[in-house]
A and B are shown apart, each in its own frame.
Chain A
Amino acid sequence: MTIGVVLFPGTNCEQDTVEAFRALGGRAEVVWHGDRRLPSDVDAVVLPGGFAHGDYLRTGAIARFSPIMGAVAEFARDGGPVIGICNGFQILCEAGLLPGALQKNAGLAFVSRTVEVRVETDRSPLTQRVTPGTVLRIPINHFEGNYTCSPEVLAELRAEERVVLRYVENPNGSMDDIAGVCSAERNVVGLMPHPERASHELLGSTDGNALLSSVLDAASVRT
């Protein structure tokens, strides 16, 4: 059982993410975006944070054409857990694996601080070990984290309880305080907060470990 953490040119959170999974006793390895296949032992895929392909044109717009994305989409179609953190969330939206888009923050502020997010459902590979209603302290670090979708999509997300995480205090103008959503099949999850940056006492919070442990659990079920 291994977590495949995809490295695009411009990704900068892949080592932190790998280390955070390893510190929890999991196996994780970096997967190059130019590969056409995922390693056969990968049971969960994480698209980590950064600036894939320089965020040229739009965040995530070019990354979705990376050769690995065909394999990621196929893995998702087969029910495999796919998690997009920050820039990874933006890539999953651009790739059509999640609904909506991430627009520039309200007030044009680049927001970099630890915020409180509430877990809204435990029916996702990211939150299956967390009791709904739990508030976690996790850093955010983004300019484009303002979640936007059509009113129809928002109604669907609410009705199907697909809003996975909500900000306790909205930092970026995100619609309905959304910090994370999942796909209709619930196995693809995107979130703006960085759980790997809340994975050790030295980082000021260990609350991200509850989410990362959930991903390890979801991956081990597939093994």
Chain B
Amino acid sequence: MTFSVLVEVRLRAGVADPQGATIERSLPALGVKGVHHVSVGKAIRFQLDAPDEATARATVDDLCRRFLTNPVIEEAHVSLEELR
């Protein structure tokens, strides 16, 4: 089986997000109102061959923990779907 994987890397709650704050502060210059809680992260997409979904998830979780995120400041949200 082949899975399409999207890993969204976000800053952990409580970790300062200067990029999000800077975007939010610049919005009034555009005349846009009502936008708040802006945060900036990363999206990493890849395909993964695995025998089943549970194995695929375990592989992605391990990859996130050991490489794709720095657990001190970041957390990962994984979306995974089988490619047909």
Q: Is B70 a contact of A101 with CB atoms below 8 Å?
A: yes
Q: Is B18 a contact of A100 with CB atoms below 8 Å?
A: no
Question: Does B67 belong to the interface (CB within 8 Å)?
Answer: yes
CA distance A100 to B71 in the complex (A): 10
- Name the interface size band of chain B: 10 to 19
Chain A residues near B83: list those with CB within 8 A: none
Question: Does B72 belong to the interface (CB within 8 Å)?
Answer: yes
CB distance from B53 to the nearest CB of A (A): 26
Chain A residues near B70: list those with CB within 8 A: 58, 61, 94, 101
Q: Is B18 a contact of A104 with CB atoms below 8 Å?
A: yes
Q: Is A173 a contact of B16 with CB atoms below 8 Å?
A: yes
- Name the interface size band of chain A: 10 to 19
Chain A residues near B73: list those with CB within 8 A: 101, 103, 148
Question: Does B79 belong to the interface (CB within 8 Å)?
Answer: no
Q: Is A148 a contact of B19 with CB atoms below 8 Å?
A: no
Chain A residues near B15: list those with CB within 8 A: 103, 148
The chain B residues found within 8 Å of chain A, CB to CB, are 15-16, 18-19, 22, 67-68, 70, 72-73
**Cross-chain pairs A/B with CB under 8 angstroms, 18 sampled:** A58-B70, A61-B67, A61-B70, A94-B70, A100-B72, A101-B70, A101-B73, A103-B15, A103-B16, A103-B73, A104-B18, A104-B19, A106-B16, A108-B18, A146-B16, A148-B72, A148-B73, A173-B16
